[in-house]
Amino acid sequence: MPSISTRTGDNGTTGLLYGQRVPKDHPQIEAVGTLDELNSALGFAKATCPDAERRAGLECIQKDLVNLMGEVACAEADLARYEASKFPKLTEADLERVDASVAALEARNIPFHGWATPGANLHAAALELARATARRAERRLVGLPAHGRKVRPLLGHYINRVSDLLWLLARQAES
């Protein structure tokens, strides 16, 4: 089995999806890294969750994030190649699924009073950590066009809704 340690990044660069090398602090790498952190934070929230249906929902978002990361990890020059590829891509249906989850939680009239103070319990705190990471990922995504990398609006909309959903889930976990 090949080693995970390729040493190709020892010079401070890393590879985008189709092999283009960029500095490790490149804005696209920052965005992908933050999405990866969000995926890990969701894994922690999932591990602390007592409800099987909620765990499945969090895992679905994690899978969406892998698809989203693939698109963000593609160089602008390779977007047509990526779009024509068989890689799974984030879709409007994925956004609609998250929107439906937000609407379902809002219909429950979950109580909240002003700004949240995370830490009521382990699961709520894990959800808040994921929410804050989602907001940072959103900031990284919206900053990419200033660095020459177009981003489909759907990607930003999706991350924005995920952070809304995580906020509502945390409020529900506190009650």
- Per the domain annotation, does 13 fall within a domain? no
Residue 1's pLDDT is 82
- Per the domain annotation, does 158 fall within a domain? yes
DSSP string, 19-41: S-EEETT-HHHHHHHHHHHHHHH
Q: Which helix (H) or strand (E) holds 13?
A: strand 13-15
- Per the domain annotation, does 138 fall within a domain? yes
pTM of the model: 0.93
Q: What span, in angstroms and rounded, lies between the C-alpha atoms of 9 and 15?
A: 8
* Beta-bridge partner residues of 21: 15
Q: Which helix (H) or strand (E) holds 17?
A: none
- Per the domain annotation, does 44 fall within a domain? yes
Residue 76's pLDDT is 92
| Residue ranges in the chain modelled with pLDDT below 70 | none
Please tell me the total count of domains within the chain: 1
Q: What span, in angstroms and rounded, lies between the C-alpha atoms of 171 and 88?
A: 32
The CATH number for 75's domain is 1.20.1200.10
Tell which residue, 58, 56, 33, 60, has the closest CA to residue 44: 58
CA atoms within 13 A on the CB side of 123: 17
- Per the domain annotation, does 14 fall within a domain? no
CA atoms within 13 A on the CB side of 53: 2
- Per the domain annotation, does 139 fall within a domain? yes
34-56 burial, b at 16+ Cβ within 10 Å, e below that, comes to bbbbbbebbebbbebbeeeebee
Residue 138's pLDDT is 98
Residue 149's pLDDT is 95
> What is the pairing mode between strands 13-15 and 21-23?
antiparallel
Residue 110's pLDDT is 86
Residue 111's pLDDT is 78
Phi, psi at residue 13, to the nearest 5°? Answer: -120, 165
Range of the domain at 33: 25-107+116-174
